Amino acid sequence: MTARLEGRTIIVTGAAQGIGAGIARGMATEGAALVVADLNEEKAAATAASIRGAGGRAVHVRTDVTDRAQVRAAIEVAVAEFGRLDVMFNNAGFNVPQQFLDITEDNWDAVMSVNAKGVLIGMQEAAKQFIAQGGPGKIVNTASIAGREGYPSFAPYSASKFAVIALTQSGARALAQHHITVNAFSPGVVDTPLWEQLDKDLVEIGDAAEVGDAFKDFASGTLIGRAATPQDIVPTAVFLAAPDSDYVTGQVMAIDGGMVLV
Ligand SMILES: NC(=O)c1ccc[n+]([C@@H]2O[C@H](COP(=O)([O-])OP(=O)(O)OC[C@H]3O[C@@H](n4cnc5c(N)ncnc54)[C@H](O)[C@@H]3O)[C@@H](O)[C@H]2O)c1
């Protein structure tokens, strides 16, 4: 069987660790050339090196997704290294929980800036590159179960993920004329460093008694009966980056073990 992503150049933002690193590794084994774009340069370099060590093709770029010039620079690296850009995964995101009545404007601005504005910038800059290349192209955004339901201590995060779904739908409609598809995937509870921090933060704000409780509580709400690992996301990421998904656009694919049924 031929590799499903042979010859494709893919940028994944937030790919230094967690879901982004997992899907970058998985897509590299399907023949894609990866640009590991992340704020954390050291970890991004390590992830790219591990892909190369496994026989794949990857480079890293220190990228803050809230800074348009840096996103553009990451795209320029993709083109310089691998000739073109085929797929853009706007995956970087974070969450700092706060009790609803304690939410600060700073918290709102920080979360919305990375999770929503960062996705908008990534979509726009990737689309401009696809159009300059003469098309086609694929954009894949990381949504969340929190983009389908509002959680009490995650209001800015939920708002940002609802925004990701809105951007996915708007982008699909706006960019179809350029042969660009725009989709999202929506994870539930994935065992990544994000949850290590979230677990601690939820104890701090009084939502959980002990570190680990919140993760267990959330994961027990899945029909499958366990939390996901980044590996569980890989097949959907490969599908959304491959020609197999050419007739799919404007969609949000849930990979949440059956947490949210829509
Ligand atoms: N882990 C989960 O349970 C879960 C569930 C649903 C959705 N998600 C979403 O999946 C995505 C990845 O989450 P994860 O669990 O792998 O998180 P993670 O914290 O393990 O990794 C996120 C990565 O994003 C990077 N990042 C943060 N801000 C950035 C910025 N401004 N520019 C560039 N990179 C930046 C971080 O350095 C980090 O490497 C996020 O969008 C998150 O909201 C995660």
CATH code of the domain containing 244: 3.40.50.720
Domain-located, residue 23? yes
Ligand 1 pocket residue status of 65, Cβ below 6 Å: yes
Given this model, what pLDDT does residue 1 score? 59
Ligand 1 close to Cβ of residue 139 (< 6 A): no
Pocket test for ligand 1, best of 162, 190, 201, 232 (most atoms within 8 A of CB): 190
For residue 15, is it within any domain? yes
Please indicate, yes or no, if residue 95 is contained in any of the structural domains: yes
Residue 1 Cα to ligand 1 middle (Å) = 32
Going residue by residue through the chain, which has 262 residues, state the pLDDT in tens, using 9 for 90 and above. 579 999 999 999 999 999 999 999 999 999 999 999 999 999 999 999 999 999 999 999 999 999 999 999 999 999 999 999 999 999 999 999 999 999 999 999 999 999 999 999 999 999 999 999 999 999 999 999 999 999 999 999 999 999 999 999 999 999 999 999 999 999 999 999 999 999 999 999 999 999 999 999 999 989 999 999 999 999 999 999 999 999 999 999 999 999 999 8
Would you say 78 and 54 are in contact if contact means Cβ atoms under 8 Å apart? no
pTM as predicted: 0.98
* Number of alpha carbons in the 13 Å side-chain half-sphere of residue 174: 13
- Give 224 Cα–ligand 1 centroid separation in angstroms: 23
Give the range of the structural domain holding residue 94, as residue numbers without chain letter. Answer: 9-189+229-255
Pocket test for ligand 1, best of 38, 66, 151, 232 (most atoms within 8 A of CB): 38
Q: What is the enclosing helix (H) or strand (E) of 137? A: strand 137-142
Site to probe by mutation for ligand 1, drawn from 60, 94, 140, 141 as the one with most ligand atoms within 8 Å of Cβ, is 94
* Residues with active-site annotation: 157, 161
Q: How many structural domains does the chain have?
A: 1
Q: Is residue 203 part of a domain?
A: no
- What is the structure's pLDDT at 2? 74
153 pocket-lining for ligand 1 (C-beta < 6 Å) = no
pLDDT for position 221: 84
Indicate whether 197 belongs to any domain.
Answer: no
DSSP state of 190: B
Query: For ligand 1, is residue 187 a contact (CB within 6 Å)?
Result: yes
What end-to-end distance do the CA atoms of the chain give, in Å? 34
Angstrom distances, CA of residue 237 to CA of 28, 91, 123: 11, 11, 17
Give rounded-to-5 percent helix, strand, coil for the chain.
Answer: 50, 15, 35
Q: Which helix (H) or strand (E) holds 52?
A: helix 41-53
Nearest atom, ligand 1, residue 94 CA: 43
> Is residue 166 included in any domain, yes or no?
yes
Residue 200 domain-assigned? no
Q: Whose CA is nearest to atom 30 of ligand 1?
A: 64
Q: Find the 19 Cα to ligand 1 centroid distance in Å.
A: 7
199 in a structural domain = no
Rounded to 10 degrees, the C-alpha dihedral 33/76/61/27 comes to -20
Q: Is the CB of 47 under 6 A from ligand 1?
A: no
